[in-house]
């Protein structure tokens, strides 16, 4: 992992469990982060997000009265959102394929499964800083590109953009195989 000076980062940490906030704050401070704002649910986080300049958001999934998914959807789609492009890391102890898909469709940038380790937290921050994802605006989605990997040898028809002329004959001659990880 590249060494990055994190002292200038401003992080919003949202979790209804005070102990979890304390653990993540300790990890972030040991990495050099100095500006950490905390909220115990999405409603409190909205107030902070609108009043402070935030670089990265860590949010829990399950909280009351406003959960992490509702908060993420607000950040990505509300005209009152001060930064629709803010990187968002969703954390949860309820990791299922459905929660992962719901988080991706809401516009989450990265996903962490509890219990967390310092290594996984720092890996996600590194990904956000050193490998930022482009944002996508679709009919019913706004957020970071949901594709994890780019297949530079792909010869099928792309769902986005124009198809290169030299690819068309190969598509007609051979069946197109799809990787289940690319379907969403």
Q: Could you tell me the pLDDT band of residue 30, with boundaries at 50, 70 and 90? A: very high
- Secondary structure (3-state) at 127: helix
Percent of the chain with pLDDT over 90: 70
Q: How long is the chain?
A: 184
d(CA 181, CA 176): 15
What pLDDT was estimated at residue 148?
62
Q: Could you tell me the pLDDT band of residue 4, with boundaries at 50, 70 and 90? A: confident
- Secondary structure (3-state) at 23: helix
pLDDT of 93 > 70? The answer is yes
What pLDDT was estimated at residue 150?
56
pLDDT of 167 > 60? The answer is no
User: For helices 97-106 and 68-77, what crossing angle results, to 10°?
Assistant: 20
d(CA 142, CA 162): 21
Domain 10-144 has CATH 3.40.50.10790: no
Left (φ > 0), alpha (ψ -120 to 50) or beta: where does 132 sit?
beta
What pLDDT was estimated at residue 3?
57
Mean pLDDT of the 52-67 span: 95
What pLDDT was estimated at residue 166?
34
pTM attached to this predicted model: 0.79
Intervals of CATH 3.40.50.2300 along the chain: 10-144
pLDDT, tens digit, for every residue of 118-152?
999 999 999 999 999 899 998 889 999 877 655 55
DSSP string, 146-172: --S---TT--S--SSSPPPGGGHHHHH
What pLDDT was estimated at residue 175?
37
Q: Is residue 121 reached through a cis peptide bond, with omega within 30 degrees of 0 on the bond before it?
A: no
């Amino acid at each position: 992992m590249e060494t990055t000076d994190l002292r200038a980062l401003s992080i919003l940490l949202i979790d209804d469990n005070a102990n979890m906030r304390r653990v993540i704050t300790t990890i972030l401070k040991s990495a050099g982060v100095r500006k950490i704002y905390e909220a115990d649910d999405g409603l409190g986080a909205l107030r902070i997000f609108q009043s402070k300049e935030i670089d990265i958001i860590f949010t829990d999934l399950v909280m009351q009265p406003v959960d992490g998914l509702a908060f993420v959807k607000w950040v990505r789609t509300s005209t009152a959102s001060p930064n629709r492009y803010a990187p968002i890391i969703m954390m949860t102890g309820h990791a299922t394929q459905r929660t992962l898909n719901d988080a991706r469709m809401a516009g989450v940038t990265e996903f962490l499964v509890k219990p967390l380790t310092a290594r996984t937290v720092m890996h996600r921050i590194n990904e956000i800083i050193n490998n930022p994802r482009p944002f996508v605006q679709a009919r019913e989605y706004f957020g970071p590109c949901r594709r994890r990997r780019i297949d530079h040898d792909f010869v099928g028809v792309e769902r986005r953009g124009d198809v290169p002329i030299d690819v068309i004959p190969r598509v007609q001659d051979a069946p197109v195989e799809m990787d289940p990880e690319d379907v969403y």
